[in-house]
Structure formats: C-alpha cells, structure tokens
Structure 1
Amino acid sequence: MIRDAPVKFRIMEVFEEGGPQWNYEVVPKIMEEYGMHSHHEQQMVNYDIIEMVSAGFLEEGESVIDEEGKFNKGHLLTKYTITPLGIATVDDLKKKVRHYE
C-alpha cells in the first residue's frame, strides 16, 4: 500500500488487490481509510471511480438499481474491474513512490 497516497491511487490498489468489486464495497473502504464521513465525500469517492473509468484505469461490469439502499437507494450500483492500463499504472507507482509498504 502506498502510504498517504492520493485517493485515486488507493482506489486502483483496492481493485488490483481485490479484483472486481461493487462501488458499494469499495467506497466505504476508501472512506474509512481516509477518515471521510459525509454523504458528499461518499459521492466524491464514487465520482473518482467513474472518472477512472473515463481515464481507462477501470472498466464497468454489471450494473443494477439499488433497490435495497445498500449505497444510494434508487441509483445505480456498478461492479468495476481494474484494466491492464490500471495494473501497469499501479505497478509503476509502486516502483516510483517512496512510501510504498
């Protein structure tokens, strides 16, 4: 793990370490690690994941409407996977960042 990493770096690590995961699984993990508690911060982490799809680091898998309120009732739950570009980027960061544990 890269100590004190920017949130987006850590998101890629989580997907690299854990394989395909739903946004409702990853977002709380990131929030806990970074001491985030608000609904706004929850949405920002979710948005970071969406941005990483646009950049090609993650890709979307299946999606369902959150009918139970697992994350945000009535909204989309999406399963994401890290891409080969994302894996290469994480590996490169691990080589270059001083605080890798």
Structure 2
Amino acid sequence: MSKQMTEMLKGTLEGMVLAILSGRQAYGYEITTWLREQGFSDIAEGTVYALLVRIEQRGLVEVEKVPSEKGPPRKVYSLNVEGRKYLEEFWRNWRFLADRLEQLHEGGR
C-alpha cells in the first residue's frame, strides 16, 4: 500500500469499521480479515483493535464477551444507536467530499 493510500485510509478506517458493524456483529480479527479480503492487505490487526477500543470508549458500539474455542473470550462488537447516528454523519461527510473531489477531477466544474 502506498504512503498516500495509508494516509487516506487513516481518515476513513473508522467509518469503514462502523459500516461493517452496521450490517453484523463482528470481532476484531473478523473485521481485519474482511478488510484484507477487500484489498486492504497492509492493515495490521493492532490498528483495528486500537480503533475498536476508541469507538468503544466513545460509546458507539455495544460489546459482548463470547466464549472462544481457543483462548480467552472474544469481544464481539455491534453498532448501537449512537454509532448509527455517527455513521450517518460519516456518510453525509463522505458524500460531500466525494462530490467535491469528483468536481475537481473533472476540471473544477
């Protein structure tokens, strides 16, 4: 992944993770695996886990500890009402930025 892509991803990864959680519950490794399957192969598990801690602290997700066949219980995350509101705001901001970037790409029209 290029440095430019890494920098762009930093600003959008939170929204991407919230979008994943809007469709289903997931734990950190599942999220990391899905992102890698989508082409974000350089995303480290530690990056996703740190982000999950931050969104948990901000009250955007519910966390349930689920027994694991191997090792300690897993923390399974799901989006709560506050997280859904935050994700809606993310998508509004994303659309605004994407529209303006497209205008610039087309020559500023």
TM-score calculated relative to the size of structure 1 = 0.69
Give unmatched runs, 5+ long, in structure 1.
Answer: 68-73
Greater gyration radius: 2
Paired residue for 2:64, among 61, 64, 71?
61
Q: 1 CA distance for matches of 2:28 and 2:65? A: 11
Amino acid at match of 2:55: M
Give unmatched runs, 5+ long, in structure 2.
Answer: 1-7, 100-109
Q: Please identify, of 54-63 and 79-88, the stretch whose mean Cα deviation from structure 2 is larger.
A: 54-63
Amino acid at match of 2:54: E
Q: CA deviation at 1:80?
A: 0.7
With over 3 angstroms needed to count, the CA separation of the structure-2 counterparts of 1:36 and 1:76, relative to structure 1, is: farther
Q: Which has the higher contact order (CA 8 A, sep 6+)?
A: 1
Paired residue for 2:53, among 34, 50, 73?
50
Aligned residues of 1:24 and 1:77 also touching (Cα < 8 A): no
- Taking only aligned residues, the RMSD between alpha carbons, in angstroms, comes to 2.4
Map 1:70-85 onto structure 2 (within 5 A): 74-85=71-82
TM-score calculated relative to the size of structure 2 = 0.65
| 3-state SS, counterpart of residue 59 of structure 1 | strand
